């Protein structure tokens, strides 16, 4: 069996690539770098997320739309001040057939500029509000940085919600509702804990008013990762695109609508793989796993009597039927010519949460043997209890996986009140929560002050020592630790004389 050769602890990047490839989640699109083929195992997870999220936003009154994937430079022009920073990522179509296009068109990296001219057309009166549209599509951003499956790709699947409201309060309420759904995708489906918070001015979406975010943590390297973002755009875009309604309280007066935009992408799958996977491969949370339970016959040899074989296959089929009826996504592996051990490895590589083994001995004892993928725990289940015990074990696996990841994040989220403790904390794979003044320049300085060498191994030749990246602000956690005294506590940056405004979570990050 060609299992995973890289060890997660020793070579995380290599391990990750091997796992997503060998678990048949992605294939590299070798024709053009930075693009990946997403295979059924991935699309099943994405579709579970899509169903879960769609049910909930539909209940909020969000409707689905589908806009063209190309942007005219004219409409891009309208948002030029914040797009210029993104210009290097824009992909352009300049030709059709052998003819040059009069006006080149850009492939959407996000759809504000595609959608908002039509929001301006459709939104006339406050009775047209709230307008709430979401689209599931893919976007293209020609990333300059190193790409990697799910986490940073030049094309990725996401949903992008775009809403318009008559007031800041109504917009603000929805921003947080959506953020809580994003947290739910991570915590309820992917068994991944996230910290909810607001981005600093430096890290927010430049075209927006404020950005709220769910932030993840990768124990293997102690880095933070942005999970999904829900922005209040304020009136910035409605001023750029002239989206106004008559003021319901003042005849003849017009007000620019208040907008939000929110997105969650297939990055969530990469985060799940990185957190839960191990050296045998994927470890999938049962709620999103295509196969929740794999049923494998064992112990059938040439000397097994015909009678035992018959009894065995009767019980085998019974278990499968019982589980299907109980709503468990169960498959059997009857492949000829492969040993049970080979099959165990294969399904472990693919991350199937629960394995059931049935042999003639089990049949005689009227039990089925099980093995949990997350903990390796083994045991037996009386055949009469399969319909209740298996779903129970699957739910236990789901919550144990979440609790394990939550503990790891909680224990590596350190409130730090002494600057000298920061770098050692980062080197010990923590993210830090520090009193911070919230000033952009100070944030730049903090990144600089924390970029340096980490003496992983004194024997590494000087030239090869990886300079550890500096820490970035991840978010201003909604849940603020105690101990910041307004007007007294100072910003932790030793070169900053300003008072601290908030505790802010910083870390090395993706
Ligand atoms: O992040 C979201 C959620 C879904 C809707 N959009 C917002 C803001 C997207 C921010 N963003 C992010 N990346 C971009 C890349 C580009 F090449 C470009 F031209 C523009 C952007 C850009 O505006
Ligand atoms: Mg980007």
3-state DSSP call for residue 188? helix
Question: 270 alpha carbon to ligand 1 midpoint, in Å?
Answer: 20
| Secondary structure tally for the chain: helices H, strands E | 14, 25
SS3 breakdown of the chain: % helix, strand, coil, rounded to 5? 35, 30, 35
ipTM score for this prediction: 0.99
Considering the chain, what percentage of its residues have pLDDT values greater than 90?
92
Given pLDDT bands bounded at 50, 70 and 90, which one contains residue 247?
Answer: confident
Ligand 1 contacts CB of residue 110 (under 6 A): yes
Asked if the bond preceding 437 is cis, omega within 30° of 0, the reply is no
160 CA: nearest ligand 1 atom:
4
Grade residue 84 by pLDDT with cuts at 50, 70 and 90: confident
Query: Quick check: CB of 259 below 6 Å from ligand 1?
Result: no
Ligand 1 nearest atom to the CA of residue 230, by list position: 3
pTM of the model: 0.96
Using a 6 Å cutoff on CB, does residue 226 contact ligand 1?
no
Bridge partners, 132 (sequence order): 163
Q: Please indicate whether residue 67, judged by its CB atom, sits closer than 6 Å to ligand 1.
A: no
Closest CA to 3 of 294, 300, 343, 248: 343
Question: Does ligand 1 lie within 6 Å of residue 229's CB atom?
Answer: yes
> Do the Cβ atoms of 26 and 37 come closer than 8 Å?
yes
Ligand lying nearest the CA atom of residue 163: 1
Nearest ligand to the CA of 261 is 1
> Are 299 and 309 within 8 A, CB to CB?
no
What mean pLDDT do residues 247-271 have? 94
As a whole number, mean pLDDT of residues 171-185 equals: 98
Residue to mutate, 109, 112, 158, 227, ligand 1, most ligand atoms under 8 Å from C-beta: 109
Measure 279 CA to ligand 2 centroid, in angstroms.
Answer: 30
Distance 133 CA to ligand 2 centre (A): 23
Burial of 411 (0-12, 13-18, 19+ CB in 10 A): exposed
Q: Is the CB of 232 under 6 A from ligand 1?
A: no
Ligand 1 nearest-atom number relative to CA 211: 1
Place of tokens 């030749």: 461
What's the pLDDT tens digit per position in 20-49? 999 999 999 999 999 999 999 999 999 999
Q: Using the predicted structure, report yes or no on whether residue 454 has a pLDDT greater than 80.
A: no
Ligand 2 centroid to 89 CA: how many Å? 8
Q: How confident is the model at residue 465 (pLDDT cuts 50, 70, 90)?
A: low
Mean pLDDT of the chain: 95
Measured distance CA(319)–CA(333) in Å, rounded: 13
Query: What tens digit of pLDDT does each residue of 322-378 get?
Result: 999 999 999 999 999 999 999 999 999 999 999 999 999 999 999 999 999 999 999
Query: How far, in Å, is the centroid of ligand 1 from the Cα of 118?
Result: 18
Q: Is 109 in the pocket of ligand 1 (CB under 6 A)?
A: yes
Determine whether the shortest distance from the Cβ of 262 to ligand 1 is under 6 A. yes
- The overall longest dimension of the chain from CA atoms, in Å, is 92
d(CA 225, CA 228): 9
Q: Residue 292: how many CA atoms within 13 Å on its side-chain side?
A: 21
Look at ligand 1, atom 8, and give the residue with the nearest C-alpha: 205
Which has the minimum average pLDDT: 101-115, 151-165, 372-386, 451-465? 451-465
Output the CA 505–ligand 2 centroid distance in Å: 20
Centre of ligand 1 to C-alpha 90, Å, is 11
Residue 159: nearest ligand to its CA? 1
Q: Strands 63-64 and 131-140, how do they pair? A: parallel
């Amino acid at each position: 069996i060609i299992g995973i050769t890289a060890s997660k602890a020793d070579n995380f990047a290599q391990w990750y690539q091997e796992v997503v490839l060998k678990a048949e989640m992605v294939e590299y699109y070798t024709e053009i770098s930075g693009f990946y083929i997403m295979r059924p195992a991935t699309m099943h997870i994405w579709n579970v997320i899509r169903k879960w999220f769609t049910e909930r936003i539909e209940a909020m009154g969000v409707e689905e739309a589908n806009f063209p994937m190309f942007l005219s430079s004219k409409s891009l022009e309208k948002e030029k001040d914040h797009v210029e920073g993104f210009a290097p990522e824009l992909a352009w179509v300049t030709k059709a057939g052998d003819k040059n296009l009069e006006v080149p068109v850009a492939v959407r990296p996000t759809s504000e500029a595609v959608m908002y001219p039509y929001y301006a057309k459709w939104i006339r009166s406050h009775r047209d509000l709230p307008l709430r549209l979401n689209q599931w599509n893919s976007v293209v951003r020609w990333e300059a940085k190193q790409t990697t499956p799910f986490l940073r790709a030049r094309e990725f699947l996401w949903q992008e919600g775009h809403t318009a409201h008559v007031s800041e309060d109504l917009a603000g309420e929805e921003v947080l509702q959506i953020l809580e759904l994003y947290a739910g995708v991570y915590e309820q489906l992917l068994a991944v804990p996230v910290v909810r918070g607001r981005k600093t001015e430096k890290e927010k979406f430049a075209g927006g008013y404020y950005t709220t975010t769910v932030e993840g943590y990768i124990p293997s390297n102690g880095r933070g990762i942005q999970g999904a973002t829900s922005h209040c755009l304020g009136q910035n875009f409605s001023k750029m695109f002239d989206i106004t309604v008559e003021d319901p309280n003042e005849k003849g007066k017009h007000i620019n609508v208040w907008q939000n935009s929110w997105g969650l992408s297939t990055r969530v799958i990469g985060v799940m793989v990185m957190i839960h996977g191990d050296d045998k491969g994927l470890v999938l949370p049962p709620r999103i796993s295509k196969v929740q339970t794999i049923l494998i016959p064992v112990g059938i040899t040439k000397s097994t009597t015909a009678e035992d074989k018959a009894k065995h296959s009767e019980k085998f089929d019974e278990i499968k039927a019982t589980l299907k009826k109980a709503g468990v996504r169960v498959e059997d592996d009857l492949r000829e010519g492969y040993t049970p051990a080979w099959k165990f490895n294969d399904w472990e590589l693919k991350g199937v949460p629960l394995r059931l083994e049935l042999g003639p001995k089990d049949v005689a004892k009227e039990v089925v043997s099980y093995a949990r993928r997350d903990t390796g725990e083994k045991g037996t289940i009386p055949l009469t209890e399969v319909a209740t015990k298996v779903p129970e074990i699957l739910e236990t696996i789901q919550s144990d996986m979440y609790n394990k990841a939550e503990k790891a994040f909680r224990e590596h989220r350190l409130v730090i009140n002494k600057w000298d403790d920061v770098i050692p904390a980062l080197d010990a794979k923590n993210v830090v929560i520090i009193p911070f003044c919230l000033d952009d320049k100070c944030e730049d300085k903090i990144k600089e002050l924390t970029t340096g060498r980490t003496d992983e191994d004194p024997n590494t030749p000087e030239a090869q020592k990886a300079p550890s990246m500096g820490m970035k602000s991840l978010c201003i956690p909604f849940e603020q630790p105690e101990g910041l005294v307004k007007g007294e506590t100072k910003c932790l940056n030793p070169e900053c004389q300003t008072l601290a405004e908030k505790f802010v979570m910083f870390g090395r990050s993706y």
